[in-house]
Amino acid sequence: MYREIFSSIAAVNTFVENETSDRLEALTKGHGMLNLAVYSVANAIVTEILSGRSIKLSDANLEELPVDVIMDKGIKAAKDAGADAANAALIVAAFLNLAGTASGPAFPRVTENSVQWQG
C-alpha cells in the first residue's frame, strides 16, 4: 500500500501545475483544486491503518465495520480541507480501493424470507 500512496503523490508532484494555484484560498474553497483534500484523506487513512484498523469488508452482522470508521475520518478530513461531501466520499473510496479494499457493486437478492446483498 505504501507504494501506491507514494506513486499517487509522485504523480501529482511530477507536474508543478498540479500543485500551484493563483490564490491560496482557491486550494480550500473549490475551483477544481483538491490537492489539500487528497493529502488530508491519505493522511487520515494511513493513520487509521497504521493504528491497526482493518480495511477488510465483511458481511458480519455488525452495526458498524472497522472500515466505516476509516471512511468517516477520511470524509471528515476532506471536508475540513474544503472538499464538498460528494468529492470527499469519492476521494476516500478511491484511496480505499487503491489500498486493497475488496469493494465492488452490490445488488439485493430477495429470497422468500430475507433480502441479501450480493456483489
pLDDT score recorded for residue 77:
92
Give backbone dihedrals phi and psi of 118, rounded to 5 degrees, phi first. -120, 145
Q: What is the pLDDT of residue 10?
A: 75
pLDDT score recorded for residue 29: 59
The three-state secondary structure class of 119 is coil
The predicted pLDDT at position 72 comes to 92
With a CB cutoff of 8 Å and minimum separation 6, the contacts of 117 are 59, 106, 107, 108, 109
Judged against a pLDDT cut of 70, whether residue 33 lies above it is answered with no
User: 33: Cβ–Cβ under 8 A, 6 or more apart, which residues?
Assistant: 21, 26, 27
pLDDT at 117: 53
Model pLDDT for residues 35-87, shown as the tens digit of each residue: 788 888 999 999 998 998 888 877 677 777 888 889 999 999 988 888 888 88
Cβ-contact 92, 41 below 8 angstroms: yes
Local structure of residue 84 (DSSP, 8 states): -
Residue 110: strand, helix, or coil: strand
Confidence check: pLDDT of 110 > 80: no
Tell the residue number behind the cell numbers 480550500, with chain if given.
28
